[in-house]
Amino acid sequence: MERLQKVIANSGYCSRRKAEELINDRKVKVNGKFAVIGMQVSDKDEIEVEGNTIAKEDKVYFLLNKPRGVVTTAKDDKNRTTVVDLINTSKRIYPVGRLDYDTTGLLILTNDGELANLLTHPKSEIEKVYVAKVKGIVSYENIKKLSSGVYIDGIKTAKAKAKIIRFDKDKKTTIVELTIHEGKNHQVKKMFESLGYEVLKLKRERESFLDLQGLNVGEYRNLTPKEVKKLYGELNSKQN
């Protein structure tokens, strides 16, 4: 027996948090009756979500080097290219977390709702490494401020790691590597903006131990079973 929201998430239909919302909205039925949060189900139970009968599905895990001009969602009402469109699979997958339309780099897509929930949970504090091209010459004083935390939307960010990769004095730009473990909306851009710098380009280079090695822009690969197991081990250790 397992909790209903976990079974829905593991089916690949949606994340566990979304499953809980759907249950509360009376959009989930078990054996023809409306479900409640926390109820236990077995393989013999018939589960309907928004009128769709769900079944257990093999888990798939993809690591994508996201290009610019692609939206991080499973569907787009403006008919723009989504990150899911770039993956050749028959499974119902969705992106874990979000990269802006004009941001490139590492993005995980899966149908494993449990892993997605752990990766995005605040307790996990997964390190994410970004490389930003910034308008202006960033001072070392401001690098220290980024590292110790800055205020965005009235809240101070957690301590980070920041270092200057190089300057271009002629074009008056700076390349900065910033490592954070939070996931606030537009966080990296807002951190620089709080110090008066505009981000011209932004790329996520790494998430946890995963990087983009061997992947050109727009390319993707499957995560190995060893990588998935390592991710779960790291994430579960931080939940306790």
Q: Are residues 203 and 215 in the same domain?
A: no
Q: Hey, what are 60's tokens? A: 């798939």
CB 21 within 8 A of CB 10: no
- Contact between residue 93 and residue 84 where contact means Cβ atoms under 8 Å apart: yes
Q: How far apart are CA 22 and CA 2, in angstroms?
A: 17
Residues 137 and 198 grouped into a single domain: yes
Q: What is the mean pLDDT of the chain?
A: 93
Domains of the chain: total: 3
Residues 108 and 225 in one domain: yes
Domain with 148 in it: what CATH number? 3.30.70.1560
Same domain, residue pair 203 and 155: yes
With b meaning 16 or more CB within 10 Å and e meaning fewer, what string describes 195-228? bebebeebbbbbbbeeebeeeeeeebeebeeeeb
C-alpha distances out from residue 214 to 27, 52, 79, 142, 185, Å: 43, 39, 30, 33, 29
Tell me the residue range of the domain where 167 lies: 127-207
Do 81 and 179 lie in one domain? The reply is no
**What integer pLDDT is reported at residue 240 of this predicted model?**
67
User: What pLDDT score does 35 carry?
Assistant: 95
- Residue 111 DSSP label: S
* 169 and 141 inside one domain: yes
Co-location of 105 and 220 in the same domain: yes
pTM reported for the whole predicted model:
0.80
Judgement on whether residues 182 and 77 belong to the same structural domain of the protein: no
Same domain, 194 and 134: yes
Give the sign of the dihedral formed by CA 188, CA 189, CA 194, CA 197.
Answer: positive
Gap between the terminal Cα atoms of the chain: 23
Which position has the token pair 């996520």? Answer: 204
Identify whether residues 78 and 177 lie together within a single domain. Answer: no
State whether 143 and 24 are in the same domain: no
| pLDDT at 33 exceeding the cut of 70 | yes
- pLDDT tens per residue, range 148-194: 999 999 999 999 999 999 999 999 999 999 999 998 889 999 999 99
Catalytic residue positions? 100
CATH assignment of the domain containing 47: 3.10.290.10
Beta carbons of 72 and 83 less than 8 angstroms apart: yes
Asked if 140 and 192 sit in the same domain, the reply is yes
- Among 1-15, 27-41, 214-228, the least confident range: 1-15
CATH number of the domain within which 66 lies: 3.30.70.580
